Structure 1
Amino acid sequence: MSKKNKKKRGKKIMKVILIIIVILAILMFIGFIINSILSKGELEQIEPYGKMINVDGKNIHVNSMGNGSETIVLLPGFGVSLPSADFGPLMRELSKKYTVATIEYFGVGFSDEIDTPRTNENYTHEIRTALQKAGFTPPYILMPHSISGINGEYYASRYPDEIKGLILLDTTSTSKEVLESIPSYMNRLENIGFSIGKFQQKIGMTRLGMKLVPDTKLVKNGYTEKEISDYKKFSNHVINNTIINQSLSKANNIKETSSLDFPENIPVIKLISSETLKNMAKKNKDDGLSYHTEHLKRLGKNTSYKVIEASHFMYQTKVSEISDITDEFIDTLEQQ
């Protein structure tokens, strides 16, 4: 091919690339406009499910059901846009026997965003204050999901008299092995990921993605149409600075919690999802249980576990099974 033809071909390629860039820019601009219109006032139309509790000048949403003698406190995992809706079926089932409260952290659900660092100490202060101001009296049975296991363990370690037991829903491990597996560059990667996520959220890609991804929050799984609809709307606004700070604080919070001695008198049961077990088996090239058994070993001898055939979000599809295990666990507590 002659130099002249090569030059012509190069110009054609550059022209095609330029056209593609212009088209993408136009589409993103259109997406931004449409998303801005749809987002305006979208959440203001939805009334909080529970009480808005003032904690240090900002509001935390606490949703509760039931009036049983035992109080179960549900703590949501990372990235759950509306925990009070997400935990809906589980709350209704547990509330038949117990008092159940869901805490929506700052930056999540109906709760305000906040600039306060997302440290273990601040989370524990906010949870304790919100529960007490909402009228709940310790001791509590904490039921954290995923990353919230860190908050539950820290709370129990710092204020053991206020915690009667922990039911861990596929929670993050606080063992030394987990700490060693967190790369030093993790926060830099997460910062890049969140920057991309915020951009996608602004141009409406998050909204579009929600329509394409299969969901287990279905009426057949115990969800109401309102919970399903509200959750989807909140998911269009899930990324904010408070949530980003929560994620970036994860490694430090795990490290701090793992350095504390967990109270041996507090019983713990960990419910492990089969999905997580398979993923850990592939990663560690074993049966997948070592990740969890090392975790439980750190928490002491007063621990046990059960494997649930479900995804990481087991409470969305396995309400009855979790409820039955909760009954057995609480019966054991009362016998002690």
Structure 2
Amino acid sequence: MGQVLKRISWVFIGIISMLLLVITVSFMNHRIQLNREAGLLNPPGIMVNVNNHQMHVYAEGSGPRTLVFLSGGGTSSPVLDFKGLYSKLSDRYRVVVVEKAGYGYSETAEVSRDIDTILEETRSALSLAGEQGPYILFPHSMSGIEALYWAQKYPDEVTSIIGLDPAVPEAYDKYPLPSKFMMGLTGFGARMGITRFFPGIVNSSPAIEENLLTEQEKSVYRAIFYKKTQTSNMNEEVRMIADNARRVAEGGIPEVPMYFFISDGAEIPLSDWKGQLMTYAESAAHGKYMTLDCGHYVHDYEPEIIADESVKYIDGL
């Protein structure tokens, strides 16, 4: 019996040693690659200091309206993710992408991800970058909560919300959020460079897969993905989203015009995602929606349709 336990102990030690070796090699390779990729990561927009951390604000175009794009949770490179859509609108309007803490070119920082802090940081970043409202908000996914809260709290700053498969408060009543352990584990794996062994993950990102980026932009997207996957800020957003959603639900449906572009819901782990968004839009005083036969990143899958519809809608406001 003693010999058996001894062999099991050695096997266990061997497995742990191999795992530590793999993690060490992966981390060293990750650091080397990050240094090589650093030259690709020159912010195309303006860096501003908000709450003692740097935030990136990208803008292009000009016009009578300013459109502000707010990314969904965990989207590593918002500026490139939204490019397929905003590039079709910047000849008529001012378009702005705000990258929150832990996203894109913005710093990962030790800041709360409660809804008030997120919103105030977005507003401060826009102001410091020289942008002026009122704004038409284009929130994707989780940022739908921020956009709705913005319209509740500062209605004079929000002309309209054009939602890109945006989350509504009711969605988080039953949304199966990942556990703290799983987020910590996958976040650790990303920091150790394990994601580099699975290039299919980043290459299947809709902005890349739909060929909305140049080859150079694809390289930048990959570099940002490997640096900014499941950052601590992204994970904290997930941990706080249910509380944030309840806060927004208490404020009711804001009385601003809304137009939701809704996906087929197949990628969302919630059976009635599509129905909830439709119901919310129908319940709004000035709400409408369009359902699309595509995945959650609607702005990557159907940028032409969304751009055309948005122009008609905005010009009619």
TM-score by length of 2: 0.89
Provide the residue aligned with 2:306 in structure 1.
322
Comparing 104-113 with 40-49, greater Cα deviation is found at 40-49
Q: Residues of 2 paired with 1:254 and 1:216: CA distance?
A: 26
2:193 aligned partner? 204
Distance apart, 1:98 and its partner CA? 1.0
Q: Deviations over 1:84-116 (max 9, x none)?
A: 121122221110211100000112111122222
CA deviation vs aligned residue, 1:3-35 (integer Å, no higher than 9, x gap): x9xx88887676656544443332222222222
Indicate if the aligned counterparts of 2:210 and 2:301 stay in contact, CA closer than 8 A. no
The answer (yes or no) to whether the contact 1:194–1:244 under 8 Å persists in 2 is yes
1:216-236 alpha-carbon deviations (Å, 9 max, x no partner): 334863312222111111111
SS of alignment partner, residue 325 of structure 1 = helix
SS at match of 1:226: helix
> Is it true that 1:151 corresponds to 2:146 in the alignment?
yes
C-alpha contact (below 8 Å) 1:43/1:234 kept by paired residues: no
1:64 aligns with 2:59: yes
Contact 2:173–2:242 under 8 Å retained in 1: no
Gaps of 5+ in 1: none
Equivalent position of 1:261 in the other structure: 252
Provide the C-alpha distance between the structure 1 equivalents of 2:232 and 2:172, rounded to a whole number of angstroms.
25
Contact kept in structure 2, 1:156 and 1:262, CA below 8 Å: no
Deviations 1:112-133 (A, max 9, x none): 2222211221122122222222
**RMSD of aligned C-alpha atoms?**
2.6
Aligned to 2:260, what secondary structure does the other structure show? Answer: strand
Alignment of 1:74 onto 2:69: yes
The AA in structure 2 aligned to 1:67 is: S
Residues 44 and 54 of structure 1: CA distance in aligned 2, closer, same or farther (over 3 Å): farther
CA distance in 2, matches of 1:141, 1:95: 13
Summarize the Cα distance change of 1:28–1:53 in structure 2 as closer, same or farther, 3 Å threshold. Answer: closer
Taking structure 1 as the reference length, the TM-score comes to 0.84
Q: Structure 1 170/219 Cα, relative in aligned 2: closer, same or farther at 3 Å? A: closer
Q: Deviations over 1:175-211 (max 9, x none)?
A: 3xx343257xx5xx53211221132123321122234
Q: How much has 1:279 moved relative to structure 2? A: 5.2
Question: Cα 1:32–1:70, aligned 2, differ >3 Å: closer, same or farther?
Answer: same
2:78 to 72, 76, 83: 83
What is the alpha-carbon distance in structure 2 between the residues aligned to residue 180 and residue 243 of structure 1?
20
Q: CA deviation at 1:309?
A: 2.1
Give the corresponding residue for 1:252.
243
Equivalent pairs, count? 315
Over the matched positions of the two proteins, sequence identity in percent amounts to 28
Equivalent position to 1:228, from 204, 218, 225:
218
- 1:324, CA displacement in angstroms? 0.7
- Which of 170, 189, 192 is 2:181 aligned to? 192
